[in-house]
Amino acid sequence: RRKEILSFFSLDIEQISPSFDESKIPFLGDPAVYVQEIAKHKALSLRAQYPNTPILTADTVVIQAGKLFLKPADEEEAKAMLQ
């Protein structure tokens, strides 16, 4: 979806999945700080590979009733989250 939104600006965009392990960032209670830290570390993990290229990263989390839902490991876990 992000690539679709950015395409409105007629930019030459290359979508790359960083090798950063998001589980290394602990959730300390503030969702905004959490996603900012993840996005920052994603960018840092790509900086050496793309030193002279602007890097845009983002992250999304879901919070329901104060509970943080991270990316499910598999389809079974995703279904359990929806229960």
Indicate which residues carry an active-site annotation: 59
Render the chain in DSSP notation, one character per residue: -HHHHHHTTT-----------GGGSPP-S-HHHHHHHHHHHHHHHHHTTSTTS--------EEETTEEE---SSHHHHHHHT-
